[in-house]
Amino acid sequence: MERNEYAYQAGLALMQRLHGGQSGEQLVEAVRRICPDFAVMTFEWALAGIMGRPGIDLLTRELLLVASCTTLGTAMPQLRAHVAAALRLGASREQVVEAILQMMFYAGGAAVANALQAAQEVLDDAPR
């Protein structure tokens, strides 16, 4: 896959802003053997192309992703990452919990309970 270097670097910078540390490089390394293009797509399309768009602030986007991961019910590692990113952007614990709880009638009690447990793991490690 041919890389758009500008979009790739913009996506990588946004990944580091949202998740800190070496998260971009960790994603690349995690998928390099099976599908290195996935990391390129993530940086260029999901981060630079969608997350980086104007119109909705990053915190709102992260809370939407928390809700979406809750609804999926199968994305607990991603949920933890987006809870951490939301907190990093200034979300309160209450906002995170409410975003998850809002999904009760759409995702079901089991999905919400699992998401709350996953979020609790991140909240326990977050500074107060």
Q: How far is CA 23 from the centre of its chain?
A: 11
Q: What share of the chain is helix, strand, coil (3-state, %, to 5)?
A: 75, 0, 25
Rounded-to-integer distance, Cα 110 and Cα 112, Å:
5
Domain 58-125 in CATH 3.30.565.10: no
- pLDDT recorded at residue 33: 83
Residue type, 56: I
pLDDT at 109: 97
Q: pLDDT digits over 29-74, tens only?
A: 888 889 989 989 999 999 999 999 999 999 999 999 999 999 999 9
Query: Measured between alpha carbons, how far is 4 from 43 in angstroms, rounded to an integer?
Result: 10
The pTM for the full model equals 0.90
pLDDT bracket for residue 26 (50, 70, 90): confident
Query: In this structure, what token pair is assigned to residue 85?
Result: 């990113």
pLDDT in tens, 106-124: 999 999 999 999 999 999 9
CA 101 to chain centre: 17
Which part of the chain is CATH 1.20.1290.10? 58-125
- CA distances 123 to 4, 7, 11, 57, Å, are 36, 32, 26, 22
- The helix-helix angle for 109-125 and 58-72 (nearest 10°) equals 130
Going by pLDDT thresholds of 50, 70 and 90, the confidence category of residue 25 is confident
Number of other residues whose CB lies within 10 A of the CB of residue 5: 9
